[in-house]
Structures are given as structure tokens and as C-alpha cells.
Structure 1
Amino acid sequence: MDHDGADPVIAAFYRAALQPEEWPAAMHAFARLAGGDVACCFLKPQAGEAPTRAYLSGMEQDAWEAGYRRYYHAIDPGYAILTRGVAGRMHLMQEYFSDRMVARSEYFQDFYLRRGVRYSCSGVVSDGSGLTILSAHRTMRQGQYDQPAQAQLQRVLDHLPNIFRLRDTAQQAQVRGALAWAALDVLPRALLLVDAGLRLVFMNQAAHRLLAAPPSGLVNLRGGQVGLRASSVQQQLAQRVRLACAGLAGGHPVPLYVSDADGRPALEVGILPLLQVGDGEQAGLAMLSLRPLFQASARRWPHKAPWPWGLTGAEWSLALALADGVEPAGYALRQGVRISTVRSQIQSILGKTGTRRSKEIASLFSALEWEQGGVVAPP
């Protein structure tokens, strides 16, 4: 599995949405993130029909055309799992198909195994015009998926509706070789595009609304430059943006967090490299993705429903407390347990959700949207 995490892969998908020639690179990055060699993303106009479009990595186009698209899509047992479940969730197919079932399956024996793959992690999203399926595959040698890998792939799937909305809007506008400002403007996530000096190039409507809403003062625009409330975070932002614009961003591109007046992380800032092409020249840009944290909501969970990511009830309560800005020591005091117990629970949550630190747990759980007593993934 690629230990740089999902952020570079998400950035690659957004680049591919604007520059179609980048799709092979994006799919290769997705396969690498999954710890395998094969990945595919294809569109079905509606359930039961053959796929009409596909992006592949690690599989020949002829194998796709002659095999899957013409016949095997109709008997793919994984597709049946995806269409029966809730859209927008990555599923580990190893949990549904035992070795005995695989041995009896025409699909697995005549197509899947013959292509050298055995385990898959797949999800489906619907954009109103069809179903888009995103899958990553591993060989027997590469082994089964674990929950951290599933969590990283889930992050990519969460962005897929926005990625394809961006692609379709750009195509409709017949934008070639330049960033599609109108396409970025329709995305629900607040986005700012800046150059290496943090000079604002573009901000979409969602960013306008975010900057005008509480908590105010976390982000400011002075003299056409983007600034953050905390000087230490501002320095980190400036350094990361310079690296992103120079094409040198690497390592672990974790988000930055801006705190409110009470010291709680109130705004998550993601930095993604984005290449602008025009008039035969290339200029590096960075896309800043802004997400407010700690949105007020009634947090209820359906009765008897399993906790997400396989968490226990105690881990779930702790994760929500971290998302509300409660410190581990304060939570231990409030619950009447030892701090060592809380730290042990945090380590378990990190392993199950694929996060690396407590702040990422807070970011993940504060991003959940709560509706009618349930929870859905963030846009």
C-alpha cells in the first residue's frame, strides 16, 4: 500500500477530470494506494446494462472489451453486492465470497482469476446519469485488504461524485488545456486556487459562502493573498504551497488545522497540487480545500445498527468527543476511566479508521453528516 496516503491520489483524480490524458496516471496511483496492480473505474447507464466507459490500470483494454464488457459484467457477483447496498461505500469483497464460492463461480474461474487477481475493494456512486463503479484489485500474493486500506480507498470514493461533476462540466464547456473555472464553481466543497506566493487565482462560490460565515477571521484575503489566523500554521501553509506549485510535494500531505478562539481545530485546510496549462506554458498552482469542523448536529445512531469501521460503542463515543474538541485527559475524567484506557481506545480507533493521529479522528468524525437518526459520508 502507498504510505503517502489518499491525498496525492485524490489530487490526481481532480487533474484527470480536467485533463483526460491524466486518467491512466490517476488509476495507476489508485491501484498503488490499494497495494495492488489492477484498478478500474467504469460507468453503467443503468443497472443490468453493459458498461459504456472505462478507465483501467494493470489490465489490457482488449481484456476489458472482449471479456468483461461483452459478457462477464452480467454475471459479476460483486456488482450485485454493490447495487443491493447503500451507494457511496467501499466494500471488501473478501467478506462476501469464500474460497468455496470462488471455486464454483464462472466469473471468478473464467475471468477474474485468469486475469491474475483475487481480492477486490469496490464501491458504487450514482450521479443521476448512471452508476459509476470504482474497484481496486489484488493478487493472491498481495493478500487480502485490511480496514486501514479500505479507509484510504473510501476517501477517494467520497470525492468521486465531485470529480465526475467537474469532468462533465468541463466537457460541456469544451474547456481544453485550461482550468475550468465554471466547473470548479459548482462543487460543494470550498476551494481556493493560489500560486506559489499564496496569491489568490480563483475561489468558488462555496468558498465565498464559507469565508462570509462563522467562524470568521480564520481565513483572510489581504492584498489578494490568502492568510490564516495562526502565524505558525500560515508558515506551514506557505511552505507546502511552494512545494506543491514546484511539483515537489511528497511525504505525508496531512491537512493543516486552524483553531478557533477556544483552541479547538475549527477549519481543515487540504493542499493539493494542480497543474494549469495554457498558451504552451505550464504554471504550478495549489488547490486549497477548506472544510469547517464541529458543525452542530444531533448525533444519533440507528438502534442495533453496527458501528462504522467496526468500532465498539465506547470507541464510537470517544471519537465523537474528540470531534467536539474534548481532550483525552478531559474525556477520561468525565468518563471516570484511566487515561491509559482512553489512549488504548484511541490507538484502536486509529487502526480501524486508517487515521494517524487524534486530530485526524476529530476531522473524520466531524465531517459526518447526520440525518434522520443516521449518518452518511461527507460530500
Structure 2
Amino acid sequence: METLVADLYESALLPEQIPDVLARINRALDCDGLHLIGKDEETSSVFASVVIGERIAAAERDYLAHYHRIDPRLQIGLNTPTGMVVACHDVLDDHFVSGSEFYQDFLIPAGPRYVIGGNIYRTGGKNIHVALNHLIGRPEFSEEKRKEVGAYMFHLSRWAKHLFLADELRGAASSGFFALETLGQGILILDERSAVLFANQASQRLLGNVLTTRGFRTSWAPGAQLKAQFKATIRDRQARTRTLVHPIGGRPTPLVLSLLPLPRDRGMGVRMPSGMEVVSRVLDPALPGGIGVIPSASLVVLIREQVAVSPPGPGRYQRAFGLTPAEARLAVALAHGASPQGYADTAGLSIATVRTQIRALLAKTGAASLRALVVLLASLPRTSP
């Protein structure tokens, strides 16, 4: 039982395994069929139906078309606590069965006569019920069998909660990564070793076949230098901007890469931004392997084509954000990849002065962090000096 229960919980993350796991539970309990039904009581619609057993599987279409509306098993489940085992013959006597449209026109012709199970999940009008069957000719469920079913019902109830939670996370992750895929800007997410964890379609279009799950192909000349810069950014937590020329469609194209280290929790390693904890297997076939989680994401790289015009000068930043001349000079340096300490050394300023100017830049631009500020400055339309 321990292995089967472990596989049950695992199937919450791998839904394609659910029918096989439920079939094994059906066999372990020596039953003739199992039906998992998810029903929304507010809309009277079935949102999930998994049928195990050839006899009852043949009748599933009729059940979904009509008989779920008059299924007395569901009402019994609603009337009892979640996870509690109840046998239909405890509640429905022979007189009820003989006059029940559900039993006489649907269930008994399909083969089952005795049913045991109950509700395993309920929230917001949504319920999941499990029904295990003995076919006609087999006895009622014994007390010993009830105890065996009860052991599984406990785990099925906990599993159902994980199933809904996993589905919510998959939905959130899919919508988030769909948004990333639709961006025209390339996005790479890398781990602490500079291995690629995620690459959207735009990044693959811009970089082409030089991109692999391990980073860049060794034959690509700029790859080694970029990887060194990735590692430096991860190590010192300083955002950087780098440019390179890369052929796209046979045409040499200037690309701008913004290197943004992801935040870390003190003593707890990397903390992912909200919505990024769990992701779908969304990597392009060109990047085989897929991912289920990003446990060690350390760096985000934004990639865009460089517009062939003059870059913004101090005057452009002054007009755009109302900066002082000193703040504008710092903005230019940050947009070109300078670190705060590096700018302080070059400009002959103290790091305290530079940090004061950065706080002013954050306030005037509305950027939430130095990383966001660098992205904002680097993306300012480059139309005049």
C-alpha cells in the first residue's frame, strides 16, 4: 500500500498517471470498478470524470449526458463528512433501489449493484466523489472491506487537495510564461552555473542555434566571455549591460543584453519573484529536457536588438525624468553597464554620494530597484542625444 499511496500523491503533479493509479487502487481493494466524479453543484455540471472498469466505462457517456443529475450517490457524499466511507446500501434500501431511475435504468444495467465511497473534496460548490463498485452477483461490502476502503479514502482526500493546488499553480505558471513567450524581447533564466533554465521564443530567434540548455555552444566565440560576465553578475549581484553583434537571418545585428541578478533570501539561497515558483514544461524542443521547478534560478538576461541611433545622453535623461546634471551622468553610466562602485571610482566620488544619487534616481524614475532602474534606462527611446 505504501508504494501505491506514494504514487497517488505523485500523480497530483503528473495528471496523466491518475487513471493508472486509480486502477491499481481498484485492484488492491478487489473491486469491479471505480468512478471519480467532480461536480460543480452551482452549475450542475461535471468537471471531472475518471472511470475504471470496462462495464461502467461503457456507460460513462450516458452518465455525463443525464444521469449525474439524479445520481443519489453524490447526495449521500454531500450529506456526510469529507473522507468518510459510506455504503449506499446503508442508506438506500431495496425499496428505493427498485424505484430509482438511476439504479434501474443506468447503474444495474451497466453491471454494478453495490457501491461504497464518499466525498473526498469540497470547496466553493465544487465536489469530488469516489464510488467503488461490486457487480451483480457479488455481496455487499463487508466491515473488513470498509476499513480497507477507509484507509484509501483518507489519502484520496488529501490527494484531492494537492490536485487542486497543483492545477492552480500550473494555471498561474502557464499564464505567466505565456506572457513571457509573447514578448518581443528575449528572456533567459539561468541557474548559478549559467545553465539555461528557461528561454522564450524571442531569445531563440535572436540567438539562434548557439543557445543550448548548458548556455552557449562552445564554438560560438562570444559565449565564453558572456558566461564569465554571467558568473560575475551572479557573484557580485551587480546588474550589467553588454552589447554584441550576432548574425540574424544572415545579417550582422547589434544585440543589447541586460544582466539582472535575482534576489536572494539571507541564508536561504535564491528567492524567486512572485509567480515564478513553479513553471510548466515550456522550453522549446531546441532546448530539450523541460523543467518542473526553478530551484536555483540566479540570473535573468534580457535581450533586444539595438536601434541604430545615438544612445541617450545626459540631456535626454534630464528631460525624461527631471534629473540634475550629476544624476543624469550617473544614469548614462548605469545604462552602459557601470556598477555603482565602478562609477564612483571613475568619477572620483565616494560610494556614499553615488548611493545617494541612486536613491534620487529611483525616486524620480519610479523604479523599484537598481535592477529595474538599469532596465528602464537602457530601454529609453534613443532618438536624440
Whichever of the two has the greater Rg, that structure is 2
By the TM > 0.5 criterion, same fold? no
TM-score w.r.t. the length of structure 1 is 0.41
Task: Give the number of the structure with larger relative contact order, counting CA–CA contacts within 8 Å between residues 6 or more apart.
Answer: 1
